[in-house]
Structure 1
């Protein structure tokens, strides 16, 4: 019995299969939309990668097994200049590693834009040796956006940070400055650790830090108390620019002079904090009122807190660290929406084209069949 192509079971089965495959492809498709400031973020990652490459090539430091991204920025578990020792803490180590991915510099760019910091602005920065990756990310973001940082540092570092006695944060910074990879370096440095005076370090540890400061030709901030250290640092910031003229105060790590003394600082909010939030911060951490960050916020300056990387980095796909995280890819760079218009159009045209082709072909079959039947009836 004659049946045109469009009525054949195998044809209908093929059309049904193609339709199901098309529906699956459309349902699994995504549209990637570039995030605001993607060019600046990519520029920052390139700059940070250049820092890392230079440090690795310098042969100043060996890369240990814990350094997942092989950057040279991960220190040791314990040393004489280790201010906070976290034995066997995977989360602690992961936080240090997460900061060493070049995409972390894109996160800093994102925070700058959220805080409405723009090209030509000046920011006050207080950083420790605990998160060298975040320190470099900050410098890369400043370079990418043409932002001027006024930096004060402390040298002591918690476990897995820049706590190698022969390769401190000052050594990293000084090397990059000599190589002309960074334009700005710390105005002065403090010992860090408890009360910013190294009170939880041994005499040997303090001696190592002081010798490191001298060998790198930095001024030492080492007053008789935490309050006096804070006052001294505030005066240094003021000599550069009136406090209210800074676009932001940026803290990296858990320095006592930066965000206050005590354990409460470890549960502080992270990211961009506006001056209106100052009372809420003090309510959670009474010692915050004795800090550099408080002095800036009290003058109406936005505070960016880069700490608790397990919280700050998680929302942006940077924590926990993973070798599969691609540079210049992920939530910081692209927004993902369900369905891709190009896939929808392609599958629609494919299905319509196939059905149209089969329909025309079947119509021609029927016409030929009818002509043959008319010819046979005449005979």
Structure 2
């Protein structure tokens, strides 16, 4: 044997008390890490917050008008009392609609999604943005207008006068009427420059003479340029020509579609060929029916496609069909919550040290020996 002797320890068997101690320590450290999360503002947090706040203010204008002049609110379908949920059927109702999607779109924080996607599309203050809206999602229309205002964009808007079920489908309070109310109240200066009937083939086929008469009155009382076309292709051509004329030679930085207006998205299949939200390039195949959205996309213009509203909301961390009023600026869309990396690393090191102390040294035996622990580590030579 060498003249130099080495001293080492043979670890003792770990007792139940020691195992319980380590388990409790691990759970306690985990709880500390979970409770001490760090909130980091999302990029463009202030713009998103301002847009959400402006959206809420605009909603209050529409709500106040309905409370004063009608039509009355319907708490059963509008539990948050926004004034932006319509009714099941009227002479100007274009297509079936999903109530939960309409309710989701009244969340003022949806404006943060619009800002996020416009920024991701590379849109800058002063840029020209083309917008296509209908009466199907008045809450989301307001969110788009709010985002355009806080980002200081020059937005060129064309509307469809009809709205689907639960949208802006009251004959005396169409979306184009809401726009005018918001301008009169000083909330926005932005409103549509032209409007079509919307609905089937962009001509409201199936509504009948009364529906067409009510739409004519709505377009006339709001002083809008009426787009009348004999075909979908002609409707798309008319919109593209107006956008180009209004842009005055300036490039269009993005196209924003809200809902499923036929002239804007084409057929149902065409609408599904584009993903909900931001599309930086078109699908591989052209849409089967001409559409403004597809025309812009194939010119290299980013497209914001706001359809499948609940899907977009879930991905953004927004509630679907909320029943309580939403506070502007709340949620992960505005502040991203993350673990404190330094705290997590410190907790891991502390737990590792405790394990070593209990298993590899006499510390665990001295502390827990009286609870029936095994003999202490045996000194070996």
- The TM-score with structure 1 as length reference comes to 0.79
Tell me which of 270, 277, 292 is aligned to 1:271. 277
Aligned residue in 2 for 1:105:
111
Assess if the C-alpha contact under 8 Å between 2:33 and 2:344 holds in 1.
no
Number of aligned residues: 332
Determine whether 1:68 maps to 2:79.
yes
Query: 1:49-85: per-residue Cα shift (whole Å, max 9, x none)?
Result: 1101122222344221211321100001111111112
The residue aligned with 2:315 is: 315
* Residues 244, 299 of structure 1: 8 Å contact kept: no
CA deviation after TM superposition for structure 1 residue 323, in Å? 3.9
Find out whether 1:141 has 2:147 as its counterpart. Answer: yes
Alpha-carbon shift at residue 126 of structure 1 (Å): 0.7
Number of the residue aligned with 1:84? 95
* Distance in 2 between residues matched to 1:67 and 1:280, nearest whole Å: 40
Matched, 1:220 2:231: no
Query: Deviations along 1:319-354, whole A, 9 cap, x unmatched?
Result: 4222465431212112222247579989x99xxxxx
Task: Specify which structure has the higher proportion of helix.
Answer: 1
Q: Report the 3-state secondary structure (helix = DSSP H, G, I; strand = E; otherwise coil) of the residue aligned with 1:231.
A: helix
Aligned residue number for residue 368 of structure 1? none
Question: Gaps spanning 5+ residues in structure 1: where?
Answer: 1-11, 87-91, 350-379
- Residues 122, 149 of structure 1: 8 Å contact kept: yes
Q: Which structure ranks higher in relative contact order (CA pairs < 8 Å, sequence separation ≥ 6)?
A: 2
The equivalent of 1:337 in structure 2 is: 338
- Cα gap change, 1:17/1:264 in structure 2, threshold over 3 Å: closer, same or farther? closer
Aligned to 1:35: 42
Matched, 1:52 2:54: no
Report the CA distance shift for 1:23/1:279 in structure 2 as closer, same or farther (over 3 A). Answer: closer
CA gap of 1:123–1:71, structure 2 versus 1, over 3 A, is: same
> Does the 8 Å CA contact 1:26/1:344 hold for their aligned counterparts?
no
Seen in structure 2, the aligned counterparts of structure 1 residues 340 and 327 have a Cα distance that, compared at 3 Å, is: farther
CA contact (8 A) 2:274 2:282 kept: no
What pairs up with 1:1-379 in 2 under 5 angstroms? 22-29=28-35, 30-58=37-65, 59=67, 60-61=69-70, 62-64=72-74, 65-86=76-97, 92-241=98-247, 245-266=251-272, 268-274=274-280, 277-280=281-284, 282=286, 285-287=287-289, 290-323=290-323, 326-339=327-340
Q: RMSD value over aligned CA atoms?
A: 3.0
The CA distance in 1 between the partners of 2:23 and 2:233, in whole Å, is: 74
Residue pair 1:33, 1:334 contacting (<8 A) in 2 also: yes
Q: Which secondary structure state, in structure 1, belongs to the residue aligned with residue 284 of structure 2?
A: helix
Unaligned runs of 5+ in 2: 1-17, 351-381
